[in-house]
Amino acid sequence: MQKLNKLALATATVAAIVAAHAQAQVAGDECTTALSAVVGVNTSSTATMTPSANAPLDEGCTYLDWGASKDVWFVFAAANPGLLDLDFCASGYDTSVVVYTGSCAAMTRIACDDDSCPTGTDYQSYKLGIQVASAGNVYIRVGGWNAASGAVSFTLGYTESTANCASAESCAVVHAEPGCGDQLCCG
Ligand SMILES: [Ca+2]
Ligand SMILES: [Ca+2]
């Protein structure tokens, strides 16, 4: 009988460990399990997420105020250099957003936004024309102002800078020929 009880306890313990592990592995909760982002509408919720390590500092986005907010990660696979548009106006709460390139182990922050949505009423984020310098993964990390969380919905747009170029390499240099003001305009 004692043996049976021990077995039951062990089974319960294993079940608890498996449950805890499953909770820690909610898709999108960490960079390494980032949800695939597509051109168009992407949705998730930060309500069921946990705060990931290395909370972003404001660094130019005054009202990021990330703190220990629950956050979700998306990853967009950029096939070429280009310009990234992110519109979180349809999200249901006061989002804070940071964008990185590189890998989960070595990330480079390339953009952030706190409250720029021109039409929202919840201080959602909005950033157009984020320069992605090379092909590769772009990580979009969504948290909230002062630990706010809720429904995430954003529209992603991407304009590859090779659209008007003979080669991708020529787009790596910002130049200003007559009529050309950005990397999309390549000779
Ligand atoms: Ca997280
Ligand atoms: Ca905000």
Contacts for 45 with CB less than 8 Å, ≥ 6 apart:
72, 149, 150, 151, 152
Q: Which ligand is nearest to the CA of 71?
A: 1
Q: Pick from 96, 103, 56: which is nearest to 75 by CA?
A: 103
Per-residue pLDDT of 6-61, as tens digits, reads 555 555 555 554 445 545 579 999 999 999 999 999 999 999 999 999 999 999 99
What are the extents of the domains in the chain? Answer: 27-163
Ligand 2 centroid – CA 64 distance (Å): 6
| Ligand with minimal distance to 24 CA | 1
Average pLDDT over residues 167-185: 45
* pLDDT beyond 60 at 1: no
Phi, psi of 23 (to 5 degrees): -65, -35
User: What pLDDT was estimated at residue 25?
Assistant: 74
- Of 80, 75, 76, the residue nearest 133 (C-alpha): 80
Cα of 149 to ligand 2 centre, how many Å?
11
Q: Does domain 27-163 have CATH number 2.60.120.380?
A: yes
The rounded Å distance from CA 94 to ligand 2 centre is 4
Q: What are phi and psi of 137, to 5 degrees?
A: -80, 135
